[in-house]
Amino acid sequence: MLRLEVRASTPAWFNLALPLLAIAATLILCSGLIALAGAGVLESYSVMFTASLGDSYAITETLVRAAPMIFTGLAVAVAFRAKFWNIGAEGQLLAGAVASCFVGAIPMPGALAMLLMAMAGAAAGAAVALVPATLRVKFKVDDVVSSLLLNSVIYYALMALIEGPWKDSFSGYPISPPIEDSANFPVLIEGTRLHLGVVVALIAAPLIWFLIARTTLGFRIRVTGENPEAARYGGIHVERVLISTALLSGALAGLAGVGEVGGVHFQVMSDISPGYGYSGIVVAMLARLNPLGVVPAAIFLAAVMTGAEAMSRATGVPAFLSDVIQGTALLAMLVALLFTAYRIRRVGAAS
Amino acid sequence: MSVPAPLIEMRGITKSFGAVKANEAVDLSVAPGEILGLLGENGAGKTTLMNVLFGAYAPDAGEILIQGKPVRITSSADALAAGIGMVHQHFHLAPRLTVLENLLIGIPGKSGRIDRAGGLERLAEIGRQHGLMLDPDLPVSALSVGEQQRLEIVKALFRGARLLILDEPTAVLAPSEVDGLFSALRSMAAQGLGIIFISHKLNEVRALTHRCTVLRLGRVAGRVDDPANTTSSAMAQLMCGHEIAPPARGPSTPGEALLTLDGISTSKHSGTALRDVSLAVRAGEILGIAGVSGNGQRALAEVISGVRAPDAGRMTISGQTVTRFSPREVQALGLGRIPEDRMTTGLVTNLPLADSMVLPRIGTAAFSSRGLLKPEAIRAFAEAQIKAYDIRCPGPMTRAGALSGGNLQKALLARELAFDPKVLVVSQPTRGLDIGAARFIHEKFLDMRAKGRGIIVIGEDLEELLVLCDRIAVMYEGRIVGTLDSADATIARLGLMMTGAEGHS
């Protein structure tokens, strides 16, 4: 018979082993679905792997997809550390995209435009995140619900914008006008889509790690998240910390939108984000809320997304499998997290 | 008198956590109708042993026998089925449900329906038998701590417990409630139940128990067959392995007032509000605040530490008005505070101990500069305090929650005393601590007093206050009903004032 027993401490190697274990479990669980769709399991996974990480071009495509999820993953990781339950990274991303598109369409020197796009996008994301944070601090409104519902509000506001004032009067497509060419983020490797924003995302992760681990703000975020009462008694202004965290989290999610506008799409349309904000939650959980872990976690999910499309073309397994893998990975990780607090112990027969 | 067969017997129980042997070859037995005291310092292995008995841990070696038959207990469900009930220090109740509903949780009903009538009947019967009366329809959130404990006991009896384990039941009770608990326990024993009573308070153990088993460092250090006629110091010696003398409080000449409260009132927020509270603690003085908890002590501590702003009145530290200062500001002026509840308001259990130890001063130059932490300084500070205060833990990066209560209290004390506060405000300084740890903390307070610092001790343990304090103020319903020099104070007189009778100031 097996049973759970409380652990006194968690070994350090768990941080690496648990996500890998969760990913392995996910792939095994999802192989049933692939078989059900009538394709070979190993063949399908091998197509997925080749298409996402098999050659240097594939790798750049995966990185381009990973970039927004690094930002939303960081946004969620920071927020969850303070136990500010920001489920609204999707809406904050969209707000960031709209704001940066608005700025990017104004003619000005390229470098200035990119800087202002980033600032506007971050500010817009932060402003959106401020809503659930303020509601929670002032009125004790549940932040899970308010941040989640706000996603729809932002999404339909964006739709109203591209179906209305921004609508292409010539073609009638519900898309925004493109940003200025000079505002397009520079491509780093000729012949790929690897743009400046990807590098910024990769740099952001260690910066956020530093902020959480090595600054007083990070300390206050951690303490507030773990025990707000002790934080208050210790002289920490808990409400202020929650608001700061929300602003930071929203700004990071907003930057995800900036990267998509400036580096990938150069305009805003209704499907600018295939749920990168929600994927950010999976990324953050896989990373165990560690900003450094966000990078590999985001790359994994990006590889699943790019790989799933190729697999679908090659084997006929629907590309929706990528969503199933994401969802299963989240569940597997949540189960794996159990082992940080508990150990399994075999209860032998009485001697 | 013939010796009845043991109700329960634990033989050779050994349980290790990593390299630490929490229990080693421990034998323990309880006869029907017997109240067994289980004594030991913090970390002696009492809780581990009871967790083994209650099925939370599987022992590495040893066996458990119930009425002579070996049993395997691998879960609390097994323990309940075997007739073992446990009342933990932290209650396991659903606050929004009523007393009756809490009792019926997990009890199979009749054909899928909850057996309300049957529950009511049993509840009334148990109440009558042992004087454990409870209103079945009151939500648990409306019960006092003592009533919640009563409910936990009733819950265990309700499930047919024949052996009841109580883990420091009196730590949460007011002195007046302790008598009620004891008479209920005696009544249960008289009906043949076995009881294991865990406590640090030796006078209680002597008054209540029939026999004691003393643990030290995971082993049985000794047994006491006649606690009523054994001295407290003899028992303490068994627990610690050496003799413990009470602390000596020498004479002192108090200096200027370090902290004053003048006409402080608060609005009703949560708990009892303060009404026109005036008091002062002087340099080289320990001021006790006695009172049954829930009479405004929490509000008083919150006002002094800056967590709550008063509606009226004035507070000063060294003559400077600080009435509406934030926690950080009063702390910068030399106020140290050890909160009442180590786990909820003192420490961050999920983070490294070092983080909790620097928490109130993280923004000061000692631990950070320009918003950047100084990890080496934080670690070094924690390591130095761990050493200086003999805090038993693997190191500063250990999760704070993994430490025992006594070690946590030492950590909280260390974090304040390291900065030599002018005034220290401390609530229930030794609640749940063993004699050795309590003694250590008392000595630290007396050292501070000798150095001309002021200390306010908020507590319910009158014996402790009488030993420690120069003056004792008594709180009742948010007011100070009187202040006595401890030379004039007696437990009887203080106890009377705690019920609201005016004293002479």
Within chain A, what is the greatest distance between any pair of CA atoms? Answer: 84
Put simply, the answer to whether A233 touches B327 (Cβ < 8 Å) is yes
Whole-model pTM?
0.80
Please name the member of A230, A235, A350 whose beta carbon is closest to the beta carbon of B326: A235
CB-based contact B349 A227, cutoff 8 Å: yes
Residue A259 has pLDDT above 70, yes or no: yes
Tell me which residue in A5, A218, A223 faces B57 most closely, judged by beta carbons.
A5
- Which of the residue ranges B41-45, B115-119, B300-304 would you say has the lowest mean pLDDT? B41-45
How confident is the prediction for chain A on average, in pLDDT? 91
- For the ranges A115-129, A131-145, A228-242, B260-274, which has the lowest average pLDDT? B260-274
What is the CA A211 to chain-centroid distance, rounded?
A: 18
Q: How far is B266 from chain A (nearest CA, A)?
A: 18
Q: Nearest-CA residue of chain A relative to B401?
A: A8
Model confidence pLDDT, tens digit, residues B326-349 = 888 898 899 999 887 777 788 898
C-alpha of A285 from chain center: 10
Measured between alpha carbons, how far is B283 from A180 in angstroms, rounded to an integer?
Answer: 72
Of A1, A214, A230, the CB nearest to B375: A214
* Percent over 90 (pLDDT), chain B: 43
CB atoms within 10 A of CB B82: 22
What pLDDT shows up at residue B3? 57
d(CA A197, CA A219): 28
Rounded to the nearest 10 degrees, the angle between the axes of helix A291-315 and helix A276-286 is 120
A238: its two tokens: 């808990």
Question: A346 in contact with B at a CB cutoff of 8 Å?
Answer: no
Query: Are B328 and A235 within 8 A, CB to CB?
Result: yes
Residue B237 one-letter amino acid: Q
Answer whether residue B473 shows pLDDT above 90.
Answer: yes
Band (A348; pLDDT cuts 50, 70, 90): low
Residue with more model confidence, B60 or B242: B60
Residue B141: pLDDT over 80: yes
Interface pTM, i.e. ipTM: 0.81
Cβ B99 vs Cβ B51: under 8 Å: no
Lowest mean pLDDT among A77-86, A102-111, A128-137, B432-441: B432-441
Do residues B134 and B154 touch, judged by C-beta distance below 8 A? yes
Chain B residue with minimum CA distance to A345: B58
Alpha carbons within 13 A on the beta-carbon side of A147: 33
* Residue B65: C-alpha distances to residues A173, B161, B218, B330 (Å): 80, 15, 20, 57
- The reported pLDDT for the residue numbered B344 is 78
- Tell me which chain A residue has its CA closest to the CA of residue B302: A233
Confidence tier at B20 by pLDDT (50, 70, 90): confident
Inspect the interface and report whether the beta carbons of A231 and B359 lie closer than 8 Å. Answer: yes
Q: How far apart are CA A102 and CA A113, in angstroms?
A: 11
Give the nearest partner residue to B345 out of A5, A229, A236, using CB atoms.
A229
pLDDT bracket for residue A350 (50, 70, 90):
very low
Which pLDDT band, with edges at 50, 70 and 90, does B1 fall under? very low
A269: which DSSP letter?
B
pLDDT higher for B380 or A325?
A: B380
B331, B346, B355: residue with CB nearest A223: B355
pLDDT tens readout for residues B172-226: 777 778 888 999 999 999 999 999 999 878 888 999 999 999 998 889 999 999 8
Amino acid at position B22, single letter: A
Residues of A in contact with B75 (CB under 8 A): 3
Among chain A residues, the shortest Cα distance to B17 is held by: A8
CA–CA dist A67, A92 (Å, integer): 15
Q: Among all chains, which residue has been given the structure tokens 């999760």?
A: B399
Residues from chain A contacting residue B356 (CB–CB below 8 Å): 230
Q: What is the mean pLDDT of residues B138-156?
A: 88
B-chain residues within 8 Å CB-CB of A220?
A: 362
The stretch A40-51 carries a mean pLDDT of 91
Instruction: Report pLDDT for B32.
Output: 93
Residue B154 structure tokens: 């009733």
Contact A8 B402 (CB under 8 A): yes
Q: Pick from A235, A221, A242, A347: which is nearest to A289 by CA?
A: A221
Pick from A205, A233, A199, A319: nearest CA to B360: A233
Q: Is the pLDDT of residue B504 over 60?
A: no
Q: Which residues of A touch B381 (CB under 8 A)?
A: none
Please compute the mean of the pLDDT values over residues B72-99 and round it to a whole number: 88
Q: Is residue B432 scored above 90 in pLDDT?
A: no
Whether B49 and B223 have beta carbons less than 8 Å apart is answered as no
At residue A216, the 3 state secondary structure works out as helix
Whether the CB of A11 is below 8 Å from some CB of chain B: the reply is: no
Q: Using the Cα atoms of residue A86, residue A91, residue A93 and residue A99 in order, give the sign of their dihedral.
A: negative
**Which of B65, B348, B378 best probes binding to A when mutated, by most A CB atoms within 10 angstroms?**
B348
Q: From residue B301, how far is each of A247, B90, B297, B309, B457 by CA, in Å? A: 33, 23, 6, 11, 10
Cα distance between residue B253 and residue B256, in whole Å? 10
Q: Under an 8 A CB cutoff, do A231 and B72 touch?
A: no
Inter-chain contact B72–A350, Cβ cutoff 8 Å? yes
pLDDT category of residue A351 using cuts at 50, 70 and 90: very low
